[in-house]
Chain A
């Protein structure tokens, strides 16, 4: 067990530092890249918060859908193959719900401000 601050706290404060103290000093391309950098750190902060719960729920859904077990990556590869070959389809019980839930979980980490994600929230899909 590491001591405090937590990884999340460290990344949060670096992002804050970039936004509040570095960004105002920069211009042009450098300013743009610093903003991209701060946004990238914020992705990590959200991922550290959400991934453990989201990933274990995703794993559980996948084992049920596929009837097999393995790492999250193995299972996603298996799902990919099954969807491409048509072995599993949108008609498959629980499949559509799984894809929506998984995609929304990814967006909530990657790009929670994305228009389609906000629309899904408004529609109560999350």
Chain B
């Protein structure tokens, strides 16, 4: 039995009313964060669970991640606000010897973006998904800011400044990026209603069920406070439409439907121009992230072909930016 398995076994007996754990399997994750699946056997039967973990000594290198305790707290707040999320079953303390981690329920469904966009299984529910995403965001943004754990605050001007410095440090010229920076500076939203922003709300981070739609909003690690319209813009970035370019919301739906769902739940009128600002910034952000991943290859930190080749995907965001700000 591995150390992780032993520690999990202890937790399952003490806190989850389980007799034993089974089928511990690593799902994904980079160097700093791990996701594991396992199941427990209790008197009520078997239950499938997910472990999110930052091993001891591990940590976030980008400076943007919220931390796992914060992530767990946000998922609990979201659940209370009726946003579909997994149920947090246990948040580990240092005595558990597992590093920073929490355990949540396993949610059935599909999170692979390309499948949501193309699989016939989703044909019937697909037209309803954009509205449901709007509803989930409307509820998420309604969480009272004074209930939130301490979070990075990143309004539009801060986000812009951050990515400008990352791009400048990269040093290789992308004139279309400079055009976009200028456009964003000229269209900077003025007043900001400070809200919880999920920060990575896109097709790929949402679990969908083929019969009823949105099953859970996942991946809360980039949550912060800022302009809530950021989340509505990010899910429209073409990079996560999986080839379905004419369906702006995640490659599966229409902006109008997402806005209608958002407005119905929140009572807040969506300003499409403000959402567009965030779609442009989101597209630019992904382009710059591609160059950052190439940097990781160049520095020798990650010598994989994938890291090297992704640098050549920044041009995808350049054409998307031209369509957004220089189409006619």
**In the complex the two chains form, is B243's CB within 8 Å of A99's CB?**
no
User: A96–B323 Cα gap in the complex (Å)?
Assistant: 11
Interface-lining segment among B59-67, B75-83, B310-318: B310-318
* The residue from A36, A39, A99, A119 contacting B175, defined by CB atoms under 8 A apart: A99
Whole-angstrom distance from the CB of A28 to the nearest CB of chain B? 13
**In the complex the two chains form, is A40's CB within 8 Å of B315's CB?**
no
Whole-angstrom distance from the CB of B35 to the nearest CB of chain A? 16
Whole-angstrom distance from the CB of A14 to the nearest CB of chain B? 13
Place the interface of chain B in its size category: 20 to 34
Which chain B residues numbered 238 to 263 have a C-beta less than 8 Å away from chain A?
Answer: 238, 241, 243-245
**In the complex the two chains form, is B173's CB within 8 Å of A80's CB?**
yes
- Contacts A83-B182, A106-B318, A114-B316 given: A36-B326 contact, CB under 8 Å? no
**In the complex the two chains form, is A33's CB within 8 Å of B312's CB?**
no
Chain B CB within 8 A of A79 CB? yes
Chain A CB within 8 A of B322 CB? yes
**In the complex the two chains form, is B308's CB within 8 Å of A116's CB?**
no
- Contacts A99-B179, A100-B326, A111-B312 given: A117-B319 contact, CB under 8 Å? yes
**In the complex the two chains form, is B176's CB within 8 Å of A103's CB?**
yes
Interface secondary structure of B, over-half rule:
helix
Q: Which residues of A contact B304 (CB under 8 A)?
A: 33
Whole-angstrom distance from the CB of A85 to the nearest CB of chain B? 8
**In the complex the two chains form, is A43's CB within 8 Å of B309's CB?**
yes
User: A81–B288 Cα gap in the complex (Å)?
Assistant: 17
**In the complex the two chains form, is B175's CB within 8 Å of A100's CB?**
no
Whole-angstrom distance from the CB of A31 to the nearest CB of chain B? 13
- Contacts A33-B305, A39-B309, A96-B326 given: A83-B315 contact, CB under 8 Å? no
Whole-angstrom distance from the CB of A82 to the nearest CB of chain B? 8
Whole-angstrom distance from the CB of A42 to the nearest CB of chain B? 10
Interface size on A, residues (CB 8 A): 35
Q: Which residues of A contact B313 (CB under 8 A)?
A: 110-111
Chain B CB within 8 A of A115 CB? yes
**In the complex the two chains form, is A115's CB within 8 Å of B178's CB?**
no
Whole-angstrom distance from the CB of B310 to the nearest CB of chain A? 9
Give the residue among A37, A73, A85, A110 with the most B Cβ atoms within 10 A.
A110
Interface flags for A92-119 (1: CB within 8 Å of B; 0: not) read: 0000100110111011001100111101
Chain A CB within 8 A of B124 CB? no
**In the complex the two chains form, is B245's CB within 8 Å of A115's CB?**
yes
Interface secondary structure of A, over-half rule:
helix
Identify the closest chain B residue to A104 (Cβ): B319
Q: Which residues of B contact A85 (CB under 8 A)?
A: 182
* The residue from A37, A84, A90 contacting B305, defined by CB atoms under 8 A apart: A37
Chain A CB within 8 A of B306 CB? yes
**In the complex the two chains form, is B319's CB within 8 Å of A84's CB?**
no
Whole-angstrom distance from the CB of B158 to the nearest CB of chain A? 18
Q: Which residues of A contact B176 (CB under 8 A)?
A: 99, 103
Instruction: Provide a sorted-by-A list of 24 A–B residue pairs whose CB atoms are within 8 angstroms.
Output: A33-B305, A36-B305, A39-B309, A40-B309, A40-B312, A79-B173, A80-B177, A80-B178, A84-B178, A85-B182, A90-B179, A103-B315, A103-B322, A104-B319, A107-B316, A110-B312, A110-B316, A111-B315, A114-B319, A115-B243, A116-B319, A116-B320, A117-B319, A119-B245
Question: With contacts A36-B309, A116-B323 known, what are 14 further pairs, Cβ within 8 A?
Answer: A33-B306, A40-B305, A43-B309, A79-B175, A79-B178, A84-B182, A85-B182, A99-B176, A100-B322, A110-B312, A110-B316, A111-B312, A117-B316, A117-B319
6 tightest Cβ-Cβ pairs between the two chains A and B: A115-B245, A83-B178, A76-B173, A106-B315, A84-B178, A80-B173
By a beta-carbon cutoff of 8 Å, the part of chain A in contact with chain B is: 32-33, 36-37, 39-40, 43, 73, 76-77, 79-81, 83-86, 89-90, 96, 99-100, 102-104, 106-107, 110-111, 114-117, 119-120
